[in-house]
Amino acid sequence: MDWMALRLSLSLGAWTIAILLPVGIVIGRWLAWRSFRGKGLVESLLALPLVLPPTVLGYYLLVSMGARSPVGRWFEAATGHGLVFSFTGLVIASVLINLPFAIQPMQRAFEAIPRDVREAAACCGMSPWRAMLRVELPLAWPGILTALVLSFAHTLGEFGVVLMVGGSIPGETKTIAIAIYDRVQAFDDHAAGVMSAFLLLFSLLTIGLSYVLTNRARVIR
Amino acid sequence: MFLQTVPALSADTGLTVRLRQDAPIPLDAELVCRPGEVLALVGPSGSGKSTVLRSVAGLYQPGAGMVTCDGRAWFDAARKVCLAPQRREVGMVFQSYALFPHMTALGNVMAAMGHMTETERRKRALDLLAKVHLDGLEDRYPAALSGGQQQRVAVARALARDPKVLLLDEPFSAVDRATRQRLYVELAELRRELKMPTLLVTHDLEEAAILADTLCILHRGKTLQTGAPMDVKTRPDTVAVARLVDIRNIFEGVVLGHDEGEGVTYLGWQGHTFSSRLRPEFPLSAKVSWCIPASHVLLHPPNRPSRGDAENPVEGVITDMLALGETVRVEVAIGTCGASIVMPVLLHVAQRNGLKPGAEVTLTLRAEGIHLLKED
Amino acid sequence: MIRRVLRLLAALPLFALAWTAPAVAQEVPTIAAAADLQFALTEVADQFTKDTGKTVKLSFGSSGNFHRQIKEGAPFEMYLSADEGYVLELAKDGLTQDEGTLYAVGRIVLIVPPGSPLKPDGSLKDLAAALEVGTVKKFAIANPEHAPYGRAARAALKTAGLWEKVEDKLVLGENVSQAAQYATTGSAAGGIIAYSLALSPKVSALGEFALIPAEWHDPLRQRMVLTKKAGDVTKAFYAYVQAPAARAVFKKYGFVLPGEM
């Protein structure tokens, strides 16, 4: 068992959902309740990572964040290390590829809150902020949690983008999924097997949890 | 008293509303609601009732107009004032109640008391729930309450904010008839204590008549007539209002003369001359629409000769009888040009008198009920 | 109750965040190494840690991929390539401290797993015969596009005149270590891999092998170099790899050492 890789994966997952939580709430809420020109386009773009081969995303990230790109140079100047093949770059890639996994369940959850319930919150004198904390988030919570669970699990399993953008640097970008690949190449079937079994168990738990949350959401309504 | 005075739009107390816009929903509405008054906005579906209500609450922003409460502008298109719902002190009961499903009855009521301390809130919320007869159910979630109980929670929650205006959006449409009757009584009791103006949106004239001091007829976003429920129901201003308050007997006649001394205007129709309330504003010999509510039409069966003192007697033949539960809808053809008067007759009365299609009858059109209508 | 559990679950990622965040900070240098060094360099690094108390992290892959990653700014402090061309190119781009040193010359072997229709015949005559009768369905080498051992395998197959016949039967490993894995785990009739891998206990248990004549391909001149990012630990390791203890390990894994050619 490559504990360093597991720890790295968990850290990556935690950072990813820590960033996606506010981002997903803001975008999901916005998409759920506003209609505007080009909404379909925005939704399609956000869903793109679902169908886009990870290597395509990996390629564009490599090109746009690489040492020769403006973003890469700026980051290198600011922090002293490059963006690709670094943990930071991995977090950025992971956030991007998980956007649909986070936003879509959250959007559905906010859409399920009836308009008059939101209006009732306003008519009860709640400020928008208070209405969000007291009414919207509690009602959307199961959906938000589902989104986070899915994103976290998906981050743990992501391979293509991580390999392309992160390389396989132990402790920096070598996640557990990469470690499994690495261990197989090194003829270390035992370690690969243990880690695979761990991921399998984790995925089962995740799916089970997200089903429980979904059913729970149905009970509340 | 018969001329509808247009209310001045500069009251220092109470609610004044004036809304105008052409699209997307046409609006041309004006109304005033004084403290303690219940004003019912009545109109068919799609007439803009809810839009007017939502404009008062701040949930909808119309193109032009003004909403003031106790002299303070909540909305003033000219001065670009439009307060958010949070800053308008309204209590709103939604058609579907819109209770917060994740909070108990008590929690729902307390949620509208952001302006009080925790202990105050609890005490006051319990008081309010007791007032709407929900003591003992404070800890139930909305899903565990009946429709009527949910409505009561919604009313308590609307009052919890100490609103300056109470808004009720078809609050009885989602409960069964028996519950509705009970809730009418409760609301009538409750309103004796309410000091604020109350707007009630409903499509049910009877409900409006039971609960409201003032009736305002709304059609395609326009307020057509405002007045005491009985006045509006029996003396509509125009043909359109007459139709909206469900008067079927609308006809065309001629103004034959006015007698100021007697207080009578003479109306010619189908060779008859009727006396009706004096309406000197209608010119002589002019064609005029008139109506009579079914309640002012009396029927004299053929086997009983009409009394000599009957007002405005008219002979006719029964052409159709339609049983509707306890009553029968009787249609009587007058003269030869196809005009017919419709009236309800109690079933047992109809049976006792042997009413049947083809029977000749005499009708009395009570002068009080004959009402001349302005053109739309 | 369920509400409370949900809240707890929501807080879990935050715990994870707090627990894992320091893991990112790293003082242990990372070293990129060609896949043929998978076992040899691991042994050298273990020895290094035992002798000096310092550790390095090793990342194995194809030399070509590491070359690209270093160009893109990957934080490797040292690069052991299986092909000196990549090192010299990085040196020209100014990404390394110097042109580095030659540390070993590699050899390739034909390896066949038990039950394969092939015999371990370094002259590839048996492979030629098997291709003729069609008993070889799959044959593994590393990807010649970016793996030096893949290029050597291709050169050897061309020299033997078998390239055209074997081309459509090839399974390409991303690097030579993966090629070895493909060649020995029953998915292929055999393959051409690094001698250093074949000599490792793990791989040698999985098949029989025979050296392919060194003249059949360009010499696999393996060069290592310190990048501009190298720190003291890496510099010490760079020196250690050239010291007798490490040379002995390389020798054990079948490498020809500089100065012994």
**Nearest C-alpha of chain B: how many angstroms from A33?**
14
Please tell me the distance from the alpha carbon of residue A56 to that of residue A58, in angstroms, as a whole number. 5
pLDDT at B308: 52
Query: How far from the centroid of its chain's Cα atoms is residue C140's Cα?
Result: 15
Q: What would the CATH number be for the domain defined by C28-105+220-252? A: 3.40.190.10
Beta-bridged to residue C34, according to DSSP, are C61
- Closest-CA residue of B relative to A219 is B143
- Closest-CA residue of A relative to C206 is A187
Residue partners of A16: CB distance under 8 A and separation at least 6: A91, A94, A95, A98, A151, A152, A155
C1 confidence band (pLDDT: 50, 70, 90): very low
User: What is the ipTM, given to two decimal places?
Assistant: 0.81
pLDDT at B7: 47
Pick the more confident residue, C88 or A168. C88
- Closest-CA residue of B relative to A129 is B86
**B100 with A221: Cβ contact below 8 A:** no
- Closest-CA residue of A relative to C65 is A167
- Closest-CA residue of A relative to C205 is A187
Identify the three-state secondary structure at position B269. strand
**Nearest C-alpha of chain C: how many angstroms from A56?**
17
> How confident is the model over A4-29, as pLDDT tens digits?
889 999 999 999 999 999 999 999 99
- Interface with C, mutate which of A88, A187, A211 (most C CBs under 10 A): A187
pLDDT at A129 over 70: yes
Contact list in C for residue A15 (CB cut-off 8 A) is 17
Cβ atoms of B314 and B353 within 8 Å: the answer is: no
Q: Can you tell me the mean pLDDT for C186-210? A: 91
Contact list in C for residue A145 (CB cut-off 8 A) is 6, 9-10
Cβ atoms of B359 and B265 within 8 Å: the answer is: no
Cβ atoms of B97 and B174 within 8 Å: the answer is: yes
All structural domains of chain C with their residue ranges: 28-105+220-252, 106-216
What does the longest C-alpha to C-alpha distance in chain B come to?
76
All structural domains of chain B with their residue ranges: 15-238, 250-373
Please tell me the distance from the alpha carbon of residue B170 to that of residue B242, in angstroms, as a whole number. 22
pLDDT at C78 over 90: yes
Beta-bridged to residue B316, according to DSSP, are B334, B361
**Nearest C-alpha of chain B: how many angstroms from A114?**
8
Neighbours of chain C (3+ CB pairs under 8 A): A
Contact list in A for residue C75 (CB cut-off 8 A) is 81-82, 85-86, 169, 172
Inter-chain Cβ pairs, chain A and chain B, closer than 8 A:
67
pLDDT at C23: 44
HSE-up (13 A, CA, CB side) for residue C89: 12
Cβ atoms of C86 and C63 within 8 Å: the answer is: yes
- Check if A216 contacts B (Cβ < 8 Å): no
State phi, psi for A100 to the nearest 5 degrees. -65, -35
Q: Which domains does chain A have, with CATH numbers?
A: 3-220 (1.10.3720.10)
Asked if the domains C28-105+220-252 and C106-216 are classified in one and the same CATH topology, the answer is yes
pLDDT at B2: 41
Radius of gyration for the alpha carbons in chain B, expressed in angstroms and rounded: 25
C58 confidence band (pLDDT: 50, 70, 90): very high
pLDDT at C261 over 70: no
- Strands B198-202, B165-169: parallel, antiparallel or unpaired by DSSP? parallel
Q: Which among A7, A185, A187 has CB closest to C23?
A: A7
* Mean pLDDT score of chain A: 88
**Nearest C-alpha of chain A: how many angstroms from C222?**
20
**Nearest C-alpha of chain C: how many angstroms from A44?**
28
Asked if the domains B15-238 and B250-373 are classified in one and the same CATH topology, the answer is no
Among residues 194-223 of chain C, which lie with CB inside 8 Å of chain A?
Answer: 200, 202-203, 206
> How confident is the model over A65-114, as pLDDT tens digits?
877 788 888 888 888 777 888 888 899 999 999 999 999 999 999 999 99
- Check if A78 contacts B (Cβ < 8 Å): no
DSSP A163: I
> How confident is the model over C199-222, as pLDDT tens digits?
999 899 999 999 999 999 999 999
- Check if A221 contacts B (Cβ < 8 Å): yes
Cβ atoms of A155 and A94 within 8 Å: the answer is: yes
Contact list in A for residue C147 (CB cut-off 8 A) is none
pLDDT at C104 over 50: yes
Closest CA to C90 of C243, C228, C236: C228
Q: What would the CATH number be for the domain defined by B250-373? A: 2.40.50.100
pLDDT at A189 over 80: yes
> How confident is the model over C140-149, as pLDDT tens digits?
999 998 899 9
- Closest-CA residue of A relative to C31 is A169
Neighbours of chain B (3+ CB pairs under 8 A): A
Domain B15-238 CATH superfamily: P-loop containing nucleotide triphosphate hydrolases (3.40.50.300)
For chain B, the three-class secondary structure string (H helix, E strand, C coil) is: CCCCCCCCCCCCCCEEEEEEECCCCCEEEEEEECCCCEEEEECCCCCCHHHHHHHHHCCCCCCEEEEEECCEEEEECCCCEECCHHHCCEEEECCCCCCCCCCCHHHHHHCCCCCCCHHHHHHHHHHHHHHCCCCCCCCCCHHHCCHHHHHHHHHHHHHHCCCCEEEEECCCCCCCHHHHHHHHHHHHHHHCCCCCCEEEEECCHHHHHHHCCEEEEEECCEEEEEECHHHHHHCCCEHHHHHHCCCCCEEEEEEEEEECCCCEEEEEECCEEEEEECCCCCCCCCEEEEECCHHHEEEECCCCCCCCCCCCEEEEEEEEEEEECCEEEEEEEECCCCEEEEEEEEHHHHHHCCCCCCCEEEEEECHHHCEEEECC
**A119 with B161: Cβ contact below 8 A:** no
- Check if A122 contacts B (Cβ < 8 Å): yes
Beta-bridged to residue B330, according to DSSP, are B321, B343
**C30 with A172: Cβ contact below 8 A:** yes
Contact list in C for residue A171 (CB cut-off 8 A) is 23-24, 26, 28, 30, 57
Residues of chain B with pLDDT under 50: 1-9
pLDDT at B305: 56
CATH architecture observed for domain C106-216: 3-Layer(aba) Sandwich (3.40)
pLDDT at B302: 60
Inter-chain Cβ pairs, chain A and chain C, closer than 8 A:
115
B312-328 core/surface letters (b: 16 or more CB in 10 A; e: else):
bbbebbbeeeeeeeebb
Q: Which among C23, C73, C203 has CB closest to A67?
A: C73
Report residue C41 as tokens: 């360099």
Q: Which among A117, A119, A125 has CB closest to B161?
A: A125
**Nearest C-alpha of chain C: how many angstroms from A215?**
12
- CA distances, B56 to each of B12, B90, B134, C43 (Å): 17, 8, 29, 80
Q: Which among A15, A85, A187 has CB closest to C69?
A: A85
pLDDT at A29: 94
Closest CA to B159 of A56, A169, A125: A125
Beta-bridged to residue B40, according to DSSP, are B200, B215
* Mean pLDDT score of chain C: 88
**A167 with C28: Cβ contact below 8 A:** no
pLDDT at C33 over 80: yes
